[in-house]
Amino acid sequence: MSLSYRQPGVVLTDRHFTVPLDHADPGGETIELYAREAVASDKAGQDLPWLVYLQGGPGFGANRFVGRQTWLDRALKEYRVLLLDQRGTGRSTPATRQTLPLRGGPAAQADYLTHFRADSIVRDCEAVRPQVTGGAPWTVLGQSFGGFCTVSYLSLAPEGIDTALITGGLPSLHAHADDVYRAAYPRIERKVTAHYARYPQDVERARRIADHLLTHDVVLPNGYRFTVEAFQSLGLMLGTGDGSHRLHHLLEDAFVRTPAGPELSDAFQEQAQALLSYAGHPLYALVHEAIYGQDARPTAWAAERVRAEFPQFDAAKALTGDGPVLFTGETVHPWMFDADPALRPLRETAGLLAARTDWRPLYDPARLAANEVPVTAAVYHDDMYVDTAHSLETAAAIRGLRPWVTNEYEHDGLRAGAPRVLDRLLALVRDEA
């Protein structure tokens, strides 16, 4: 039974669906999907076209808006919107340290998680679309990993799409995870350099924190082992529009004086814990590198291996001189499964996924080259999370795609720039700009 309720300017309806775990075995095990339908209050009785939103990640549920926030306000002017919690996230059947043991041991858990990539998410969309639209194709809005899913959608089931809108999410069609991270570390270094140019006082602050973590065993209140590598991973913030400012504010209050000498303040540790913990989105850590697996080559902890090719990210070496400690970005490492109590029980499962050699292709270059679906994509210049060169190569490979390359926004442009970003994408795809 669907439940409807109201927030300012919007009517929301909870939607629940049952889909196969493995769409190749439609009569087998099933899982549950949750989605939130949103429609403008003054259009609730109207027959409107549908837009399905695919969240970034992987491993995050759809945005929990209050009323008509950010891009949703623009979308509700002409669409009914379905905010889908992709499988394993949000209120859909969860995949966490608490639930995965129901599958059995690590090998069974890893086998289960192979069904949580973009191809399965696309099949989920096609399974629920007839129940939502009556069979009509819908507009797909894909942010970041949601854009990866949209490119898979165009490859696997373009008949389900009326229009495709992608923001910060054009993946390479061919790159292995090694290639992705080999391109990523120089981008990350540029973002860190720009941060220190904006806030030069943070160079010494970061060095002091790194030195403290190298010489002390620090455990955060939730049991997270706060190592120097964990501290460096806070650079993930630098890929968003306000991330540099938020990182600066975090660093400026790191230490307090105590009878035992300088210590990391409780306030700093509490904020770091909230930023570092994967308790709310463990699937991100588990399958992040698997989203780049498309052939018999294992991902094999690519971010960790490739980092060794960039010694400037070694904090201990940086501290032997007077250079800055470099932060890292959107990378997942095996040490995270030791540090984070939400991930520790899943370390062996993650290792089995990293060693897997039977990944299926996620994209169909031939079908994309013959694409007939109207599609446009925002490509953020020097995006920290998605390589611009890879994105532009893919844009050229999808027939009819109109790219919008901009340096006005970072990776979170859809949120930070709304309604301008969605307005621009709709104008481009409709040949109005």
Per-residue pLDDT of 52-92, as tens digits, reads 999 999 999 999 999 999 999 999 999 999 999 999 999 99
Instruction: Say how many C-beta atoms besides its own lie within 10 A of residue 151's C-beta.
Output: 29
Query: Within the chain, what is the greatest distance between any pair of CA atoms?
Result: 70
Query: Mean pLDDT throughout 113-121?
Result: 98
User: Can you give the pLDDT at residue 165?
Assistant: 98
CA angle 215, 219, 223 (to 5 degrees): 160
41 counts as catalytic: no
Exposure of 347 in the CB half-sphere (CA atoms within 13 A): 11
Local structure of 5: helix, strand or coil: strand
Distance from C-alpha of 183 to C-alpha of 304, rounded to nearest angstrom: 14
Q: Is the predicted pLDDT of residue 417 greater than 70, yes or no?
A: yes
288 counts as catalytic: no
pLDDT tens digits, one per residue of 149-198: 999 999 999 999 999 999 999 999 999 999 999 999 999 999 999 999 99
266 counts as catalytic: no
Q: Residue 433's pLDDT band (boundaries 50, 70, 90)? A: confident
Exposure of 193 in the CB half-sphere (CA atoms within 13 A): 8
Instruction: Say how many C-beta atoms besides its own lie within 10 A of residue 262's C-beta.
Output: 12
Q: Residue 432's pLDDT band (boundaries 50, 70, 90)? A: very high
Distance from C-alpha of 344 to C-alpha of 226, rounded to nearest angstrom: 14
Beta strand 138-143 pairing with 161-167: parallel
Query: Mean pLDDT throughout 244-267?
Result: 96
The dihedral formed by the CA atoms of 91, 94, 96 and 99, expressed in degrees to the nearest 10: 120
Query: Mean pLDDT throughout 327-350?
Result: 98
User: Can you give the pLDDT at residue 316?
Assistant: 97
Local structure of 168: helix, strand or coil: coil
User: Can you give the pLDDT at residue 418?
Assistant: 83
Residue type, 56: G
Beta strand 80-85 pairing with 30-40: antiparallel
Q: Report the interhelical angle of 388-397 vs 177-198 (nearest 10°).
A: 130
User: Can you give the pLDDT at residue 155?
Assistant: 98
Query: Mean pLDDT throughout 23-41?
Result: 98
Q: Is the predicted pLDDT of residue 1 greater than 70, yes or no?
A: no
pLDDT tens digits, one per residue of 120-143: 999 999 999 999 999 999 999 999
Query: Mean pLDDT throughout 211-240?
Result: 98
Query: Mean pLDDT throughout 242-266?
Result: 96
Query: Mean pLDDT throughout 10-37?
Result: 98
Domain ranges for the chain, please list them.
Answer: 3-173+363-429, 177-354
Q: What is the DSSP string of 323-385?
A: SPPPP--S---TTHHHH-TTTGGGHHHHHHHHT---PPP---HHHHHT--S-EEEEEETT-SS
**47, 217, 322, 358: which is the annotated catalytic residue?**
358
User: Can you give the pLDDT at residue 278?
Assistant: 97
Local structure of 106: helix, strand or coil: helix
Which CATH number is associated with domain 3-173+363-429?
A: 3.40.50.1820
Supply the mean pLDDT for the chain. Answer: 97
**120, 144, 172, 233: which is the annotated catalytic residue?**
144
Query: Mean pLDDT throughout 426-430?
Result: 97
Contacts of 229 (CB under 8 A, 6+ apart): 315, 328, 333, 335
